[in-house]
Amino acid sequence: MERGLYIAASGMIAEQTRQDLIANDMANTGTAGYKSDRATQRAFNEVLLENTKTKQDIGALGMGVAIDRQATDWTNGPLKITDEPLDFAIQGDGFFTVRGAGGEAQYTRNGRFSAANDGTLTTATGETVIGRNGQPVRVGADGTVDPNTLQVTLLNNPQKAGEGFVTGQAAGNAPIGTVKSGAIEGSGVDAARAMVDMIASMRAFEAGQKVIRTIDDTLGKAANDVGRLG
């Protein structure tokens, strides 16, 4: 019976991790270029039970579940027209290339840029946007930027790095998407689906709680009532 406690607890831990990912997705439904995350689960090996007297097989018993890995859905989000001259969206694959304060290259799908005091194009957090010539992109006197001058890089196995940035190895001369000005890529989160997934996960978590409560009550009766002498 104690094995049942571990099985129920493993399911609750897995659902708690899943809820954290869903909550983060729901908090970024309005973040440009955001990509949603999914957690995949794996089952522990089953144990074959047998009768201790007859040695006959009773059947297999699962040992619970665990989070196998976290995957990001890199599907392109919907295009939103803003008509802002410094908003850009990538139609197709690839990431904008930016440079942080330390000079390191970073990548993002969030094309909501602005002009710095020195006339360079920057992200909302101050990173410099890099052009195809490898130099910082300059905002023209008319307050616009030619979208064809922005560097778009295709990455192998991109991984989230926080604050809307990703890391990965450049894929060389692979085909990339085109840049459109006056638009941004919307969040990749489906708010309705995220809400449904959250409700389903919470119900699964509550089911694990009920299982543990039931087993605990049964163990209490076995210890206090069954073993009591009349």
**For the segment 139-150, what is each residue's pLDDT rounded down to a tens digit?**
999 999 999 999
Distance CA 145, CA 126 (A): 17
pLDDT tens digits, 56-109: 877 766 777 888 888 899 999 999 999 999 999 999 999 999 998 777 889 999
Contact assessment for residue 127 and residue 98, using Cβ atoms and an 8 Å cutoff: yes
176: confidence class by pLDDT, cuts 50, 70, 90: confident
Distance CA 89, CA 185 (A): 5
User: Residue 210: enclosing H or E segment and its boundaries?
Assistant: helix 191-221
Q: Is the dihedral of CA 215, 216, 222, 225 positive or negative?
A: negative
pTM for this predicted structure? 0.78
Burial 101-122 (b: 16+ CB within 10 A, else e): eeeeebbbbbbbbebeeeeebb
Distance CA 21, CA 194 (A): 10
Residue bearing the bigger pLDDT, 126 or 58: 126
Q: For 28, what's the count of Cα atoms within 13 Å in the CB-facing half-sphere?
A: 23
Length of the chain equals 230
* Max avg pLDDT among 80-84, 154-158, 215-219: 80-84
Average pLDDT over residues 99-123: 91
196: confidence class by pLDDT, cuts 50, 70, 90: very high
Over the chain, what is the mean pLDDT? 88
210: confidence class by pLDDT, cuts 50, 70, 90: very high
Q: What angle do CA 22, 35, 125 make, to 5 degrees?
A: 110
Q: 74: closest CA among 102, 44, 39, 109?
A: 109
pLDDT tens digits, 12-36: 999 999 999 999 999 999 999 999 9
